[in-house]
Structure 1
Amino acid sequence: MMMMAAGGNESPNKSIEDKTSSRRQNEVNKKLKYISLAILVIQNASLILSIRYVRTLPGDRFFPTSAVVLAEVLKVFTCLVIIIIQKRGNVKIFVWLLYDSIFIQYSDTLKLAVPSLIYTLQNNLQYVAISNLPAATFQVTYQLKILTTALFSVLMLRKSLSKVQWVSLVLLFAGVAIVQVDQESGKQKEALTGTNQNYFKGLVSVIVSCLSSGFAGVYFEKILKGSSASVWMRNIQLGIFGILLGLLGMWWNDGAAIAEKGFLFGYTPLVWGVIFNQAFGGLLVAVVVKYADNILKGFATSFSIIVSTITSVYLFGFHVDLIFTMGAGLVIGAVYMYSLPKPNASTSSTSPSSPSHSNGRDSELDAFLPKSVLVK
């Protein structure tokens, strides 16, 4: 009887401990969500602002093509370190895994040549776009990648979008169009002309970048679904092609100038900061995004546009008028609307512990994740 009584006392105590542990875990997750939000906002805004800043400083200009190659090298190196840590420092297993994934399964490796080519082009186009557009304008216009990713997802992966998401895409397009009309006819174009920047060149670059981002992201997702390789290994495979294609683009575009002035010509601590941000920022976001739900991710993207706009006013003398505010407001609202969960989702599929929920949420996040999060 005493043993039964003792056993009966264990159950309430265990229940209390479980509740306390669950409460503490919820508090930790809540803090991690806010930390994730801060990191996402800082990474989204700082990369664009820092590239814009170093590309508009007086003095020697670094070669963007060399910066793209260096960022790829750093990403591959980081992924190699992560994998060898996962293998507990076992060099033999590490080397065999690389050999098996890259050479023995060469057909899978070759499939990544297409998205790698597109991402290398996209990385270079981003430098061109940010060099010729105000940071806030680029940030707003670049959200068109959500539209292109959604359309390619419907066409290539047969995904379905809710009515709210379709409405948000229309609002997104309208908001970007309003911003572009305002910039094309406003004072910003005059300011850019005065600094030898080409607004049309920047606009074409960001549009092509959005198209390439949407296609390559969906194409990569399709490859991942039929593969057991880790994301880190896929990053290495992509990085190998990225480095080779980046070197080819560097030779084609800046070969003679780099041969004369050197690979690191024009590099300053600020330029190195941009490269490290580009290389590690996306990987960092890939780690923290697991703690941020889709709504929080959409909020972070929207908030980063506001941060970029306010900072641009002080750093670059960016002029914000009513029309730009309306257009940017539509974009921000559209981003948030698109991130909302589908209303017809069943209770079982929306449970946080449900595997199907996790996969669905990750799929919806794809439209917002920068390329660096998805594959870099």
Structure 2
Amino acid sequence: MTAATRLLDEMCHLTAQSLTSLETSDHFQVVKMLGEGSYGKVMLAVHRKRGTPMALKFFPRDSTNLFSFLREYNLSLSFCTHPSLTKALGIAFSTPSHYVFAQQASLFGDLYDVIVPEVGVEEDCVQRVVSQLCGALTHLHSLGFVHRDVKPENIFLVDAACRWVKLGDFGMAKATGTKVPGVWYSSAYCTPEAEMAKESEDSRHNTASKPDGGNGLENKIKRVWVSVEASTDCWALGILIYAMLTGSLPWTQTASDDRSYIKYQEWFDQQNDQDGQDDELDLWGEGKDEDITMSLDEDKQNRSKRKSHPVAPQFACFTPLASSLFLTLLHPQPGLRGRPDDVLGYLGGDWLQVKEKIQLEEERKTIRGREVIRNEKEREGRGEGYRSGDTRS
């Protein structure tokens, strides 16, 4: 346990003793809904005395553990000091029905809203977002915390062009090394190491679905416990980059029976074997023995053959630079997975093949054209003309 995680626990106990009860409407003017989920809802509000806009996050008291609420609040308040982490504003209270805390408001939605299905977003925009997220995750990990829920819906936009984004929603965040129940779910964001919990999840589901609750053997199946590690965020970052660049996911679920994931594993293993062979050749090359008879031409031919392995189909649109990035972040073994700060070395170069960029740009132009036509029809329906001062396309 790091000093930061110990301090967080102490802050939660102190905050629990000073949490006040009040009516939201007495202190805030609620403007609109910003989002909602299983945790509760987030509302845009204005502080009546200060006139400050903020986001109020509401957690239903009947389904929320108080200490969990206080952990998320204090983590966001005291440890999210990086500019690309959503910070709480020092306001926490309870109402008869909810626990509530205030945080910075991002008025332009989340990253999910700007990723065009099957198209994605422009590559320079992707690299801007990735650069910021790498800094945010590196900061969290250095303090001993793992976010555990990196996905487009939890990345909020401070401006419409993604020049400034903030990673938020720390409800799943845990201290590194914490033991938690292993959970497998059908998504590319789920890590390969989580598949060991799949059998347990399936067995529990099947047992629960039987009227008699299943036989004794099934009831003895124990839940898998796993250690929280930063590598979980690194895997999710790799999947997120793929989603931003393509507007899709590389596979439906990270499971040994998913055909797309199997193709990726085959490609990964081939690249891994090739790297191992190259290392072995390099070691031999360091020696000066006269018994080494392999000529340079033969060496080049062998290397060329090893590099001719086909790329996994869903990664064929990427440059070798981007392919190397994905192989680093999406390493099946969590202990060998790349870190967020490793990604910084891949920024600045091209990630998409030229022909892929051209095709995606044509698709974006088509989509923008449809949006213009739809907007014009909506204006005509409202009896509005195009304003000469409006330069938006």
Task: Tell me the TM-score range normalised by the shorter chain.
Answer: under 0.3
- Give the alignment's TM-score, normalised by structure 2: 0.21
Give the TM-score taking structure 1 as reference length: 0.22
The structure in which a higher percent of residues are helix is 1
Instruction: Say which structure is richer in strand.
Output: 2
- Higher RCO (C-alpha under 8 Å, 6+ residues apart): 1
